[in-house]
Amino acid sequence: MTRAAANPCRKSVRILGVRSGIGGRDPGAVGAVDGLMNSTLVTRLRAGGLDARWGEVLQPDTGSTEPFATMTSFAPQIAQAVRRTAEAGATPLVIGGDHSCAIGTWSGVHAARRGHGPVGLLWIDAHLDSHTPETSHTGLIYGMPLASLLGHGAPAFTDCLTPEPKLRPEHVCVFGARSYEPEERALLERLGVRVIGMNEIERRGIEASFDEALAIVRAAAGGYGVTVDLDALDPRDAPGVGTPAPGGLRAGALVSALAQVGADAGLVALEIAEYNPGRDRRGITRQHAVALAASALGATKSEARRRIVRVA
C-alpha cells in the first residue's frame, strides 16, 4: 500500500509560480520561481506529509514594457489561478515574483472564499507596501499591494476581479516592519491596520508579538492567509532579496513562530515573495524560504506521525 492510500487525508498543496519582477526596482525576483524549483521545496513538503506539487507558472505578457499596463492584465490572471486552485480544495502556495503578485493572490483568495466570509491576512514584511500612486516616491508597484487590497490606489489594482476591497483593516496585521515612508504609515493608521514593527517585536519578544498578530487574522470568518516578503528576515539570513533592510527577524525565530500557522486548520493560502537568486549567498535565503513554507504549511511536525504509520 502506498503512503497516499494509507493516509488519504494528506493536505493538498499546489505551488503556483509568478515569474515576474516587473513591480520592483531590481527585476531579479523574476528568477525566484526557477530558483525554488531547483530547491528542496517539494521534497521537503512531501517529506512532511503533504501532497505537494507544482501547478501553473504564470508570467506577464512581454508585449508591454510599461509595468502598470502589464500588471493591470497580469494581476487578474494570478487571481484566477489562485481562485481555481483554492476552489479545487488545495492550499495555494504562491511563489513570487516581486511582492506586487499579492494583488492577484489575495484577490483570488477573496473570490474563492466569498461564501465563507472575509479573509484575514498576516503581512510579514520589512516594508508596509501601502503606497498609492499619489504617495509613492518611486512609482514602483511592489510598494502598493497592501494599499490596493485594502481598496486604496489605482483602480486597475483595487478592482482586480471585482471592484471592492479584498481585505478589511481589522483582519490585517503587518509584522516585522522597519522601513517605510510616513504617507503609507498614515494610511494604515487612518484605516486602523495593526502594524507590529521590529522595535515592538524586540521589546515584547517574537512569541507574544506573533500571538497577537495571529489572533487578529484568525478572527476573520473566512480563514486567513500569510504573505511572507523575504526581506522581513534580517539580511544576515536573507541576503537574496531586492530591497534588504537591516535589523530584521531571524529566520529560525520566524520558522518557529510560523509552526503555529502550520498546526492550524484556518490557513487558506501562503505566499512567499521577493526571492532574488542573483543576490543570494550559498543558497541560504532559498533554504530559509523552504523552511518557512514547510513550517507555515505544517510540514514539519508530521515526521513522527509518518514513522508511526510505517511501523503500523
Give the residues lining the site for Mn ion (CB under 5 A). Answer: 99, 125, 129, 229
* Residue (23 or 120) nearer to Mn ion, CB: 23
* Residue (11 or 127) nearer to Mn ion, CB: 127
* Residue (44 or 106) nearer to Mn ion, CB: 106
Concatenate the DSSP letters of all residues of 281-299 into one string.
STTHHHHHHHHHHHHHTT-
| H-helix or E-strand spanning residue 273 | strand 267-273
Query: How far apart are alpha carbons 197 and 206 in whole angstroms?
Result: 11
Least Cβ distance, residue 132 to Mn ion (angstroms): 15
Least Cβ distance, residue 129 to Mn ion (angstroms): 4
Q: Residue 274 — left, alpha, or beta (φ > 0 → left; ψ -120 to 50 → alpha)?
A: left
Query: How far apart are alpha carbons 276 and 100 in whole angstroms?
Result: 14
* Residue (125 or 184) nearer to Mn ion, CB: 125
Least Cβ distance, residue 85 to Mn ion (angstroms): 22
Neighbours of 270 (CB within 10 A): 25
User: Any long-range contacts for 151-160 (C-beta under 8 Å, 24+ apart)?
Assistant: 152/187, 152/191, 154/68, 156/68, 156/71, 156/72, 156/75, 157/71, 157/72, 157/75, 157/103, 160/75, 160/76, 160/79, 160/103, 160/104, 160/107
Least Cβ distance, residue 284 to Mn ion (angstroms): 20
Least Cβ distance, residue 99 to Mn ion (angstroms): 4
Least Cβ distance, residue 145 to Mn ion (angstroms): 7
* Residue (50 or 147) nearer to Mn ion, CB: 147
* Residue (227 or 302) nearer to Mn ion, CB: 227
Least Cβ distance, residue 229 to Mn ion (angstroms): 3
The strand pairing partners of 12, in sequence order, are 51
Query: How far apart are alpha carbons 93 and 81 in whole angstroms?
Result: 11
* Residue (230 or 294) nearer to Mn ion, CB: 230
